[in-house]
Amino acid sequence: MIPLLLAAGIGGVEGDAPGPGVLETIWGISVVRGLAWSLVAALLVITPMALFAIWLERRLSGKMQARIGPNRVGPEGLLQTLADGVKLLGKESLVPTQADRPLFHAAPAVVFMSAFAMYAVLPWGPDWAPTSLAVGLLFVLAIGSLEAIGVIMAGWASNNKWALLGTMRVAAQVVAYEIPLGISALVPVLTAGTMNVQEITAMQGGGAWNWGLWWAFPANLVAFVLFFWAALANLKRAPFDLPEAESELVAGFHTEYSGMSFSIFFLAEYAAMFVLSGVASCLWLGGWNTGIPGVDVAGMGVWGNLLGAAMVAGKAMLLVAVMMWLRWTLPRLRVDQVMRLCWKFFLPISLACLVWAAAWVSVVKPMLGGNG
Amino acid sequence: MTPLLAALPPVTVQHYLLLSGLLFAVGLVGVLFRRNIIIVLMCLELMLSAANLAFVAFSRVHGNLQGQVMVFFSIAVAAAEAAVALSIIIALYRARGGVDVEDAAEMKG
Amino acid sequence: MAELLGKLTAAMGTYGPAVLFYGVAGLVLASAAYAVVAKKIDHSAFSLMACFTGVAALYAMLGSDFLAVTQVIVYVGGIMILIVFGVLLTDRLPVEYRQISRETVVQGLAVAVPVMAALVWAAAGTSWPVVAEAAAAAAPPAAGGTDPGTTAAIGKLLLTDYLFPFEFASVLLLVALVGAARMARGGAK
């Protein structure tokens, strides 16, 4: 059902040819349609995925802290998140009297929509992609900045000092991580010659040594690591969780949110973790390619696409698990340390990667004669 | 539903230009009427955007990309403008304790 | 189910562009107007953000995908964050909303109304030429195939015909960066 919908999303636009002087708006339509399909997919696939990720986080943290974690509701506690969700649904959604009501209500919606809109460019299989945007990767980065605006909106509208401090930290963090995030994502774009995530993924067929990770060695390897760290800062995950630092700021920007609006922030965080990991896996880890020579997903029809979707989900979930592992391992950085790390280390290193990738594409690759 | 939709006039370049003109006028009203410098700055950005929209519409109609290149430069200039203007605003706030256009009227003869 | 989906798709193909345009245009105008009249500066800022996002959608509908995404990254991710910074750093509660004098209103309207009238008259009154073949060449191919987008072509233009303005723009940005840092720090020395 869902794959059907996804596949229909990239089908052609039918309809009468427009008259003279009438502008066709095909690109806009295909984006809107991609967003519509990704919303459908969001409700049917991504929400369970996020619920699973929340369960995974709680169980993993339990393991790392030598305790058990939730294990009562459903097998191995798998339904615990669902139970919590139902509980949160039943809770009263409080709005502080001094809060800015319209902004306070709009903020979770902005964060939620932007987290889910990113799924519009995540390819699940050779034939299954909600959209095939030529500017796919830039789209992810653009939507990511929209999400930051939603977070700032939430903190500002709450009219609470903890929330305001969290907001200032978000704003400072956004300008710091966005540049290395964008530049490290440009490295595979430069080596592949396209920003279309689906096309970049398709170039990584065959063995795992063809994956983007090894392109223009070591530029893409380093860029992958940088992208992962900058994505952590984007997701406000430890060690970059200053905007919601619970030991200093109560809960930072979402201090005043309760009930359903809180759970929307929570769900959006896990949805965004999954989609950024998915995009990283498509850029560097082969996406829907299996990495086993001879097992070519592209020629296997529906089953190949299913296998591809499983590959994307598995790789993304693996990266999500690493994020969780880091959260329970590393202490939180200070604000000045985040700034220094992003501006003085991530940025120059990512620029160096970009220069090396450019040199690779223009000088080394023609010399080697291959497409290594 | 369908007849209602069919009654909509098809979208031509004229629609985009009209929209661009209206946006420009809205921004102009803001620049002329608002006293807060930050809002004046935002309205200036709005006027720039309106002009950009007309550029993109023309670029589409003429089938070349020069209009889009122009918009690219315009966006770069808008970014530089915003950065400089905000630093001026912050300096003004430090010096005068307010961000009203009247706070910067010292040079008035 | 499949039949319904087909009908829906066909309807979207026929009426979608117009509906999309009027919807987004309405959103853009409404949010721009609200940004101008809002009493709270933060409402202005966030409303303007919605407006810029809508303008990006209009760029996308006009087939310039690269500019649409650039618009969101630069305006929403960059300029709006800067403006929010400005609001946070300079906002004194409560936001004062000074009375505008009658004189200002008259003078302002005397400028704004003719400008709007002229723009509307020019846009609506002129029969704009439509270069059919050129427009068709610039139009993105129907969805389904991979759409090459405008990025590569714009990049080529920037590094050939527009190389000097491009370099000049980067110098301008650098100067703005240094100047802004210097000016914002100046008071704190």
Quote the CA–CA distance of B30 and C119 in Å, as a whole number.
Answer: 17
* Amino acid identity, position B77: V
Torsion from C-alpha of A101, C74, C37, C100, nearest 10 degrees:
130
Q: Which CATH architecture has domain C1-93?
A: Up-down Bundle (1.20)
Structure tokens at A59: 């169980």
Torsion sign over Cα A74, A76, A79, A85: positive
Torsion sign over Cα A34, A40, A45, A47: positive
Quote the CA–CA distance of A247 and A238 in Å, as a whole number.
Answer: 13
Structure tokens at B71: 């918009």
- pLDDT on residue A224: 92
**Structural domain contains residue A14:** no
B11–chain A Cβ distance below 8 A for any pair: yes
- pLDDT on residue A355: 92
The least confident of A27-36, A225-234, B37-46, B90-99 is: A27-36
pLDDT tens per residue across span A280-317: 999 988 888 887 777 777 777 778 788 888 888 889 98
pLDDT tens per residue across span B24-48: 988 888 888 877 788 888 889 899 9
Torsion sign over Cα A267, A268, A274, A277: negative
Chain C residues closer than 8 Å to A134 by CB: 65, 146-151
**Structural domain contains residue A185:** yes
Chain A residues closer than 8 Å to B60 by CB: 23
Is pLDDT at C141 greater than 80 in this prediction?
Answer: no
Is pLDDT at A5 greater than 50 in this prediction?
Answer: no
**DSSP code string of C28-40:** HHHHHHHHHH-SS
Q: Which residue of chain C is at minimal alpha-carbon distance from A178? A: C77
pLDDT tens per residue across span A308-341: 888 888 899 899 999 988 888 888 888 888 888 8
Cβ partners under 8 Å of residue B37, min gap 6: B89, B92, B99, B100, B101, B104
**Structural domain contains residue B54:** yes
> What are phi and psi for residue A91, nearest 5 degrees?
-80, 155
The least confident of A12-21, A217-226, B17-26, B57-66 is: A12-21
* A276 neighbors A231 (Cβ within 8 angstroms): yes
Quote the CA–CA distance of A256 and A254 in Å, as a whole number.
Answer: 6
Of C36, C122, C123, the CB nearest to B29: C36
pLDDT tens per residue across span A42-93: 677 777 888 888 888 888 888 888 888 888 887 888 888 888 888 888 887 7
Of B59, B61, B102, the CB nearest to C128: B61
Residue reference for tokens 């009249």: C37
**Predicted ipTM?**
0.83
Quote the CA–CA distance of C171 and C4 in Å, as a whole number.
Answer: 55
The CATH number of residue B50's host domain is: 1.10.287.3510
- pLDDT on residue A1: 29
**Structural domain contains residue B17:** no
Angle between helices A80-90 and A259-284 (to 10 degrees): 140
**DSSP code string of B12-33:** BHHHHHHHHHHHHHHHHHHHHH
Q: Which of A26-30, A158-162, B79-83, C75-79 has the highest mean pLDDT?
A: B79-83
Name the residue with higher pLDDT: A362 or C149: A362
**Structural domain contains residue B60:** yes
Chain B residues closer than 8 Å to A25 by CB: 11
Domain ranges of chain C: 1-93, 148-189
Q: Do C107 and B32 count as a contact with CB atoms less than 8 A apart?
A: yes
Structure tokens at C126: 């002129």
**Structural domain contains residue A60:** no
Quote the CA–CA distance of A253 and A147 in Å, as a whole number.
Answer: 13
**Structural domain contains residue A58:** no
- How many structural domains comprise chain A? 1
Q: Does a cis peptide bond (omega within 30 degrees of 0) precede residue C94? A: yes
- pLDDT on residue B52: 92
- pLDDT on residue A14: 31
Owning domain of residue A320: 94-364
pLDDT class for A13, splitting at 50, 70, 90? Answer: very low
